[in-house]
């Protein structure tokens, strides 16, 4: 699995790829694939087969297409051809945990990682009540709610939190 090209593959499944594993364990739940204007383009076999920013597995002509979001209540998947719309300047994490001796109480500069094998991104951590706002110097690709952001200063891990 370490030699897989995309980081969306699940690293704990040794003998099969993620889609057959999910299909076996969760099953399929067909829904609509829509563009960002709400036009119906096709059908999907389950939202659990997709992640934000994913290109692989969207079987439509005229692409490439990228997963831009979803509506869980309606079981709808939204896609776009415009990859640039998936880049974000900021995100929030909640809850977040500090593993250093002090909790983050004021804005600090840090390096942040939001995807496996992603290069560290420069940004600022800004505490806001119970959540943490992260503003990046350069936009990052498709930070996905439910995934984790981990923050560092130099070679020291400061902590991390779930992206909301």
pLDDT grade, residue 153 (50/70/90)?
very high
> DSSP states of 24-75 as a string?
HHT----EEEEETT--EEEEES-GGG--TT--TT---TT---EEEEEETTTT
Q: Are residues 90 and 152 in the same domain?
A: yes
User: Average pLDDT for residues 16-27, to the nearest whole number?
Assistant: 67
Q: In which domain, by residue range, is 62 found?
A: 18-81
Give the global pTM: 0.79
- 94 or 13: which leads in pLDDT: 94
Among 29, 50, 81, residue at a domain's last position: 81
- pLDDT value at 148 more than 50: yes
Q: Are residues 22 and 52 in the same domain?
A: yes
- pLDDT value at 28 more than 80: no
Task: Report how far apart, in Å, the C-alpha atoms of 24 and of each of 37, 76, 112, 124 are.
Answer: 33, 21, 35, 42
Q: Is residue 8 in some structural domain?
A: no
Helix (H) or strand (E) segment spanning residue 18: helix 18-25
16 φ, ψ (degrees, to nearest 5)? -145, 165
CA 110 to chain centre: 20
Question: CA–CA separation, 29 vs 150, rounded Å?
Answer: 32
Percent of the chain with pLDDT over 90: 70
Q: Is residue 154 in some structural domain?
A: yes
Q: Which among 127, 139, 124, 141 is positioned nearest to 8, based on CA atoms?
A: 141
pLDDT averaged over every residue in the chain = 88
Number of domains in the chain: 2
CATH of the domain at 147: 2.40.30.10
């Amino acid at each position: 699995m370490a030699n897989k090209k995309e980081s969306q593959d699940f690293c704990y499944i040794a003998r099969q790829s993620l889609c057959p594993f999910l299909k076996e364990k969760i099953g399929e739940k067909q829904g609509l694939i829509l563009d960002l204007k709400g036009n119906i383009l096709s059908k999907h076999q389950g939202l659990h087969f997709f992640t934000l920013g994913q290109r692989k597995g969207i079987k439509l002509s005229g692409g490439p297409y990228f997963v831009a979001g979803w509506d869980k209540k309606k079981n709808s998947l939204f896609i776009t051809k415009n990859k640039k719309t998936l880049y974000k300047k900021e995100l929030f994490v909640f809850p977040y945990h500090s593993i250093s001796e002090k909790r983050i109480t004021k804005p600090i500069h840090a390096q942040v990682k939001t995807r496996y094998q992603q290069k560290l991104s420069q940004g600022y951590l800004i505490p806001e009540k119970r959540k943490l706002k992260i503003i990046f110097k350069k936009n990052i690709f498709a930070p996905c709610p439910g995934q984790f952001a981990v923050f560092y200063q130099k070679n020291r891990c400061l902590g991390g939190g779930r992206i909301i």
